[in-house]
Each structure stands twice: as structure tokens, then as C-alpha cells.
Structure 1
């Protein structure tokens, strides 16, 4: 199955700095995220995703609430999570929140479900981290029922059984679009196929070509299941400025701050300028001028055969004003360039 290429933006509501260099309060960051989404809508971007976190360096813990505020101020852009940590949530409440968002946005809601690479939600909501995999599998089984059936019968080990239950509000027209976030394991790919859901590859570092076998596995497994493959998307970080030099100069200090902060938690070495440049030139960091970023996205589309690219545009404490400029360049220059380059290659 072929799918039209779509372009998205993702943010975790990274806590940004004011012009004086001081960190902004989280409530202001959340209001700024709404303005960033409104700008994305005005610039023709297809999707805006907000990730769920529960820590001091990311402001958004309830993406659906922020997305609902965005829905009231936008007209066409699709709205979803990036990602919803299903393992530490209740599938029924997740469905209800997104079906409510779907109603408020007149059918523009999506959800990307994942296990998440951060674990703060588990102790916060009283879940046993040792059941990380088990909880996701069982809750995904229930969510799959919720998006495909009107009446639910479900039995799982983590909650009492459900019998002849209806969940409100329903999706008014069709099925809530539900993606499975995949970090890079064959088991996760097969899980997406088993539930007949689109697959979102989180490629946050390294050569994206290493994910080609997962894209191929998804297509082959879908074919073996007797149905055409659904969409494949990619979520990767990026930043756009007028020139390559400007993009690297502006992004590096913020890129280093966030990576080094996470690295201290996870045992990674500090990021060097050489690491940063290698990610841009050979890895999965889409940073540079519109022309440079467009060519890199085109290569990704050709390599993996994806139908959506979602750029994680927020970059640690980088200022809101610079993020707004990057969004404008993405919508006004990068996306038209990618479409033009792909059209030219088809015509040859």
C-alpha cells in the first residue's frame, strides 16, 4: 500500500530559557507550546505531537489537555501524543481522553502508544517497573479492542474483567488512528502488525539505515497476515536555520545540555562537537539550512519508504523565539523542497 507523505512536528514541552538566560516557568512553556502548534497549523504542517513526561525538564504531563487547547485555535493540523506511556495509564481513560480530543478537534485526533524511555510515571502512578513489558502487552490488547469494537469484552491479569461494556464518548466517524511507537526491536514490529496499527520508528540517534530491516519486516509480516501494511513513520530530532553554520552554532549548546543531562542518568559519555557533527552528517539529527534538511529527509524517505516524518523540534532549553523560526522554515521551505525533490525523482 502506498501512502501520501506527511510531515509532523513533535515536542516534549522542553523547559526553555527566557532572553535573559533564565529558565521559564513550566506554565509559560505550556502556553508557548500552544503558540508553536498554532504556527505549525498556519504553515501547513500535517501533524503536531506532544510527548508525556513527569520531570522538571519537560513541562507537559497531560498532553491531551494541551492538545485540546490547540484544537480550539487550529483548523486542519492533526493532533496527537508522542508518545502516550500506556504501561502506566488506564487504556479506557486514554481512549476517553483522545475520543474527547477527537470531538473537540472535529476528527483530528491521533494517539501514539509506547512503553516510553523514561520511567518516572511508574512510581508516580504506583506501577511495578518489573512488569514494564507485561503491562504494556495487556493494556495494548485492551486498547486494540477499544479502537476496533463498540462493545468490549476483555479479561486480563491487571484488572477485573469487562463484559458487554461501552465506552463514551465514541469516535464519531471511523476509528481513532493509533500508532505503535517502536524503538528498534523485532518484537515491537510484530506487535504493531498483530494489532494492525501503523508503526512509528523512534530514531533518535545513529544511522537511520539500520532501521531498514524493521521497515521490511513490518511490510512482510503484514503481507503474511493477509493485509496491506499500514503507514510507517519516523520521529527524529532536528532544527532549521537560514544556514548550516547558523543551525549548528545555535543548536549545539542546547543539544549538549539535554544529551549530557540524560547521559548522566543513563551512563552515556558527554557529547562532543565531533559527536554532534557526526549525527548531523551521518546520523539522525536533521539540523541545518532548509536545503540540507530537505535532502536528508528525502534520503530517509527513499531508504525506509516512510509515509510520515515527525521532527522533534524542541531542543532542550533553546529559546521559544528560535523554535518558532525553525517551525516557519520547516513549513515554508523544507516541506515544499522535499515534495519537489521527490516529485523530480519520480519523473526521471
Structure 2
């Protein structure tokens, strides 16, 4: 199982003052460099178009990271495909793939926020149709550099070349899903790796969807040796579990409330946080031993090939993120790998 980190580039917001974007972007590069040095398998950065996030163009961050890393895989988490141009998106990630020596990945999704749709001139009424059509085109481009294609939402292509090409003429493309059967069917039909976002409730409730995806993947006749499935869960690590949780709560709850105000959620409560941190909860926030136990439980529950720790919710300090990354890379990941290797 690959062990990686996902981020959205949350800005630190304290006493009404928002961290400068440039400062956070420089911190991100330092954090990715540390991930590479400590042996983290992959890094994913999200795309948002909001005042509380620093990153609207994941490919720019990944290109910068490619120049200061040697081994770590670099991908989006996610690229909002519905409001993007598949041609330009493929070109950007193929460029990162060439720059990094074949370490780029693209994770396509519809996005958990809607700001990109009006920003780029798309209608939310076309939410599903946009993603379906653009995913089809993106996969066609990944299969061939000469494209003849016609759709509803983009000008047609007539035997046109899409360049540059990814290393080995193949870009790893994942699909992020929030938990709907329709999304699972789409991914399985295309034989694509899937990242499930588990950001609420009891993770075991997702077992039927994982099973459904695995069964459909087989039914569609895809090579089972290439089967990949992952989870993305809010995570944060420190030396002392209780102290880490206590220190992180104000940061985490503030972001839940910022998002919640736009979605009509009630104020975030300590009891929600505590339930999330419990053995059957969706949060992996605490010390190394707590994290190891819970990550291994997720692997056992779902048969994962990848686990992504979403680590910067709410914009915790750079120093605390660096500590969390260090613990993950030097203490948590090695113990998880050892347990999986020995079956203990």
C-alpha cells in the first residue's frame, strides 16, 4: 500500500488576518521536499478558487515541486475536470511528467466547491454531463496523440496532435469520488483507479461501495493486476496524541465552520471531533501509534492499495505541518509498511 499526503493549500487565518498566498506557496514547496526526503510515496494538491485556499492551479505547484524532489509521485487532488479543458490539462500534466522523469499523476474530479463553474463560464445544470464528456476526451488523449473528436461543450478536434506526451506515452489518471454509485460505475467502466474521500461518519459504511467497485471492475473485464483503490482522510500527527488533538481542534473547527456557513451546516462541535477521532471515526488525528493502528484498520477494511493523509485542513502552522510530515515519513509509514509486509 502506498502512503501519501494530500493538501488543499489552506491558508492560515488567525484573528481575522489571512496568511499571504506567496508565503503559503513557499511553505508548500518546503513541505513537499521534506515528504520526498522522508520517503512518502506520493503527494496530491487540490484546486480551489476561494479566498481561504492558496492553490487554484495545482500543475504550477507540482512543476515547482518536481525540481526539488527526486522520488515522490506528484499529482492533483483534484483537478476540477468539469470546468477545465482536457487538452490543456493533459498538456500541463504531461509536461510535469517529463520534468519529473515520469512521476506525475492526474486525479480528475467534479470538485467539492462550485466556484470554478461560473468563473470559467460553465452551467451547474450540466454538472454531470460536463464531467462525463470531458473524462471521455481526457482518456482518449491519453491513449493517442492524434485526436478526432466532437462533443457538446468543447470545439471539435480534427486529427489534431496533443503534445507533449507523457513519459512512455501514458499518464496515470485517477478519479476521485465522493461516494455515489454512479461515480463508482463510471470509474469501473473505464478501469480507472479510484480515490474515495471519507471525511465524515463511520468509514465502514463505505464497504459496500468498495465492494461494488471491485465487482464492477472485474465484470468490465479489466486487468485485476492493475486494480487500484485508495482513501483520502483528514489526518494530523504529533508526538502526544491528546495534546496534538487539543491544539489542532481550533484550527480544524474554524475551517469546518467557514465551509459550513456556505452550506448551511450548524457550528462544528467538540463532540463531532471526538467521535471522528474514535476507533470507528473518520479522523486520523493523534500520535504515531494511533495513526498506525487506524491506517492498518483502513487497509484491512477496504483492501487499499493507497492511503492519503489530508494534512492541512484549516491551515495549521508550517512548523506543525513539518512535524506531522516528519512523523508520518519516519515513524508511521515504516511501521505500517512493516506490518503489511509481515502480516502482523
Same fold per superposition (TM over 0.5): yes
Q: CA deviation at 1:22?
A: 4.6
Greater Cα shift, 176-185 or 227-236: 227-236
Q: 1:83 aligns with which of 54, 78, 83?
A: 78
Indicate if the aligned counterparts of 1:16 and 1:320 stay in contact, CA closer than 8 A.
no
Instruction: Give, in whole Å, the separation in 1 of the partners of 2:133 and 2:168.
Output: 27
Q: Structure 2: state its 5+ residue gaps.
A: none
Residue equivalent to 1:306: 304
Describe the SS at the equivalent of 2:167: coil
Residue equivalent to 2:175: 180
Residue equivalent to 1:42: 37
Q: 2:293 aligns with which of 292, 295, 298?
A: 295
Q: 2:215 aligns with which of 215, 220, 231?
A: 220
Q: CA deviation at 1:249?
A: 1.2
Structure 1 residue 24 corresponds to structure 2 residue 24: no
Instruction: Give, in whole Å, the separation in 2 of the partners of 1:49 and 1:305.
Output: 21
Structure 1 residue 277 corresponds to structure 2 residue 293: no
Describe the SS at the equivalent of 1:160: coil
Q: Which runs of 4+ in 1 moved over 4 A?
A: none
Instruction: Give, in whole Å, the separation in 2 of the partners of 1:155 and 1:332.
Output: 50
Instruction: Give, in whole Å, the separation in 2 of the partners of 1:160 and 1:112.
Output: 23
Residue equivalent to 1:13: 9
Q: CA deviation at 1:345?
A: 2.9
Residue equivalent to 1:325: 323
Residue equivalent to 1:66: 61
Structure 1 residue 98 corresponds to structure 2 residue 93: yes
Q: Structure 1: state its 5+ residue gaps.
A: none
Q: TM-score, normalised by structure 1?
A: 0.95
Q: CA deviation at 1:211?
A: 1.3
Q: CA deviation at 1:21?
A: 9.0
Q: CA deviation at 1:91?
A: 0.3
Residue equivalent to 1:252: 249
Indicate if the aligned counterparts of 1:10 and 1:313 stay in contact, CA closer than 8 A.
yes
Describe the SS at the equivalent of 2:4: strand
Q: TM-score, normalised by structure 2?
A: 0.96
Q: CA deviation at 1:311?
A: 0.6
Structure 1 residue 122 corresponds to structure 2 residue 129: no
Indicate if the aligned counterparts of 1:17 and 1:318 stay in contact, CA closer than 8 A.
no
Describe the SS at the equivalent of 2:248: helix
Residue equivalent to 1:343: 341
Instruction: Give, in whole Å, the separation in 2 of the partners of 1:87 and 1:131.
Output: 9
Q: CA deviation at 1:326?
A: 0.3
Q: CA deviation at 1:174?
A: 4.2
Instruction: Give, in whole Å, the separation in 2 of the partners of 1:8 and 1:99.
Output: 21
Describe the SS at the equivalent of 1:156: coil
Indicate if the aligned counterparts of 1:10 and 1:311 stay in contact, CA closer than 8 A.
yes
Residue equivalent to 1:265: 262
Residue equivalent to 1:211: 206
Residue equivalent to 1:231: 228
Q: CA deviation at 1:48?
A: 0.7
Does the C-alpha gap of structure 1 residues 322 and 21 become closer, same or farther in structure 2, counting only changes over 3 Å? farther
Q: CA deviation at 1:149?
A: 2.0
Describe the SS at the equivalent of 1:76: coil
Between the two proteins, the alignment pairs up a number of residues equal to 341
Does the C-alpha gap of structure 1 residues 157 and 22 become closer, same or farther in structure 2, counting only changes over 3 Å? closer
